[in-house]
């Protein structure tokens, strides 16, 4: 059955509230976030009060029960502000929560979902120093020990690791990857478990206030009920299903931020004068604005189609990959045009165009690089072609 999600009238009222909150509260706080490299505690408390950490979780567990379309629209609106506000919530609502809802046991859902909906922060541990999309190279192990497991390994570039209360960790439970990817299992690991440590936050090109770090596990003992779904060998499937949501989230973030960037470029073009008139009157400036508007619209249409299909119960691996690939590349082009429209000012840190350019760059990398997504899309195309022949 189609997922109708939250009552539409209630959702529209929520979006109106969120738009005001983004413009009246989150954007004015950006200067403080940049200076301190963290989101103020009072804003985090407000975001929790608004339910932003639990929008996709079932109502019975304290969430809002949004469907994919509503969740992605919420991310798009939230992402008009700087990226850290999405980053702090997105792992909860787009990846860890969806994995627990789809694959967790009743006990795991009852234990973790209310906590995550209330605003406890989660991390998603797939990438390692020697592997990312290549699951066959995964080195983190989970070895049976009595009624539980012992985990050893390092996860790298893990968003929210310094703040997380729990991490969904992908680990190797068998040596062989046969049947395909059956060596990977998923574990819900409390971050205060003995043997878990978090590296220092990595210094990044952009996205102030959002933190990534290594998660290191040394002889970490977890009970058997930490195995997501109570079944080994399902970790890669769980990760890929969660990545569909993650990729749609990044696509929506790219569109939301591209809109902010284009608004900034348009405003600057109408204010900056050259040869006695606003540069917005010059046709080559107008061409850059028009190209940006058209590309944002195209990405919005792709996302709308992908989320509609997801809510209808269709598999959206290719659609999510395509939307993320296009939207993230589009955001980079819009950010580049914004710098160009600002001219010399666009290269100066005192103007926001420079920050937009740095912030947008990561969208083409995480949740699957553009090149990995090209492979995902092409392989599925070729597989469908062969099956139809």
Domain-located, residue 243 = yes
Same domain, 72 and 133: no
Segment 45-52 long-range contacts (CB within 8 Å, at least 24 positions apart): 46/21, 47/85, 47/88, 47/89, 47/119, 48/118, 48/119, 50/17, 50/18, 50/21, 51/117, 52/78, 52/89, 52/93
| pLDDT at position 53 over 80 | yes
Q: 233, 254, 269 — which closes off a domain?
A: 233
Over residues 231-258, the mean pLDDT reads: 89
Annotated active-site residue 60? The verdict is: no
Same domain, 223 and 334: no
Same domain, 329 and 376: yes
Same domain, 195 and 242: no
Same domain, 155 and 265: no
Supply the DSSP string of 197-219, one letter for each residue. EEPPPPP-SS-TT--EEEEEEEE
| pLDDT, tens digit, 9 for 90 and up, residues 104-132 | 999 999 999 999 999 999 999 999 998 87
Same domain, 204 and 268: no
Domain-located, residue 182 = yes
Domain-located, residue 23 = yes
Q: What is the pLDDT of residue 178?
A: 62
C-alpha 125/C-alpha 215 separation (Å) is 8
Same domain, 365 and 244: yes
| pLDDT, tens digit, 9 for 90 and up, residues 313-357 | 999 999 999 999 999 999 999 999 999 999 999 999 999 999 999
pLDDT band at 226 (very low <50, low <70, confident <90, very high): very high
Domain-located, residue 1 = no
Domain-located, residue 316 = yes
- Of the listed 231, 352, 367, 384, which one is catalytic? 367
Structural Rg of the chain based on CA atoms:
21
Backbone φ and ψ of 187, nearest 5°: -130, 140
Domain-located, residue 25 = yes
Burial (CB < 10 A; 0-12, 13-18, 19+), residue 309, is middle
Domain coverage including residue 60: 8-120
| pLDDT at position 236 over 80 | no
Domain-located, residue 194 = yes
> How far, in Å, are 36, 57, 74 from residue 65 at the CA level?
34, 5, 13
Rounded to the nearest 10 degrees, how much is the dihedral formed by the CA atoms of 362, 120, 52, 236? 50
Same domain, 367 and 271: yes
Same domain, 89 and 228: no
C-alpha 230/C-alpha 302 separation (Å) is 36
Q: 218, 233, 248 — which closes off a domain?
A: 233
Same domain, 267 and 324: yes
Same domain, 270 and 224: no
Same domain, 367 and 259: yes
Burial (CB < 10 A; 0-12, 13-18, 19+), residue 91, is buried
What's the N-to-C CA distance of the chain in angstroms?
31
Q: Is the preceding peptide bond at 179 cis, omega within 30 degrees of 0?
A: yes
Q: What is the pLDDT of residue 180?
A: 73
Q: What is the CATH number of the domain that holds 62?
A: 1.10.540.10
Q: 120, 138, 164 — which closes off a domain?
A: 120
Q: What is the CATH number of the domain that holds 226?
A: 2.40.110.10
Question: How many domains are contained in the chain?
Answer: 3
C-alpha 352/C-alpha 254 separation (Å) is 17
C-alpha dihedral sign at 331, 336, 340, 343: positive
| pLDDT, tens digit, 9 for 90 and up, residues 131-187 | 876 666 889 999 999 999 999 999 999 999 999 999 999 999 988 766 677 888 999
Segment among 84-98, 150-164, 185-199 with least mean pLDDT? 84-98
Q: What is the CATH number of the domain that holds 244?
A: 1.20.140.10
Domain-located, residue 2 = no
């Amino acid at each position: 059955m189609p997922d109708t999600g939250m009552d539409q009238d209630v959702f529209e009222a929520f979006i109106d509230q969120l738009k005001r909150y983004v413009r009246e509260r989150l954007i004015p706080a950006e200067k403080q976030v940049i200076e301190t490299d963290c989101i103020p505690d009072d804003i985090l408390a407000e975001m929790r009060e608004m339910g932003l950490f639990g929008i996709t979780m079932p109502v019975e567990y304290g969430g809002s029960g949004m469907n994919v379309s509503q969740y992605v629209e919420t991310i798009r609106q939230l992402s008009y502000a700087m990226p850290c506000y999405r980053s702090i919530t997105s792992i909860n609502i787009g990846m860890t929560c969806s994995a627990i809802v789809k694959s967790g046991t009743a006990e795991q859902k009852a234990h973790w979902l209310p906590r995550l909906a209330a605003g406890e922060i989660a991390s998603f541990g797939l990438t390692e120093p020697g592997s990312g999309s290549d699951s066959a190279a995964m080195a983190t192990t989970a070895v049976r020990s009595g009624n539980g497991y012992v985990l050893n390994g390092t996860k790298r570039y893990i968003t929210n690791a310094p703040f997380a209360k729990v991490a969904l960790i992908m680990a190797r439970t068998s040596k062989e990857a046969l049947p395909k990817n059956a060596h990977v299992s998923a574990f819900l690991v409390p971050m205060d478990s003995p043997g878990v440590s978090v590296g220092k936050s990595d210094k990044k090109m952009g996205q102030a206030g959002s933190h990534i770090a290594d998660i290191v596990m040394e002889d970490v003992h977890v009970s058997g009920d930490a195995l997501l779904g109570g079944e080994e060998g399902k970790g890669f499937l769980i990760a890929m299903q969660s990545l569909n949501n993650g990729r749609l989230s990044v696509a929506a973030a790219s569109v939301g931020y591209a809109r902010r960037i284009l608004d900034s470029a348009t405003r600057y073009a109408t204010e900056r004068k050259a040869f006695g008139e606003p540069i917005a009157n010059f046709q080559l400036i107008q061409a850059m604005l028009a190209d940006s508007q058209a590309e944002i619209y195209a990405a919005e249409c792709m996302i709308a189609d992908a989320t509609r299909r997801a809510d209808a119960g269709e598999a959206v691996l290719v659609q999510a990959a395509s939307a993320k690939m296009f939207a993230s590349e589009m955001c980079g082009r819009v950010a580049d045009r914004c710098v160009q429209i600002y001219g010399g000012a666009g290269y100066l840190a005192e103007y926001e165009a420079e920050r937009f350019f740095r912030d947008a760059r990561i969208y083409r990398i995480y949740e699957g690089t553009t090149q990995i997504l090209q492979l995902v899309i092409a392989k599925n195309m070729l597989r469908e072609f062969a099956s139809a022949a």
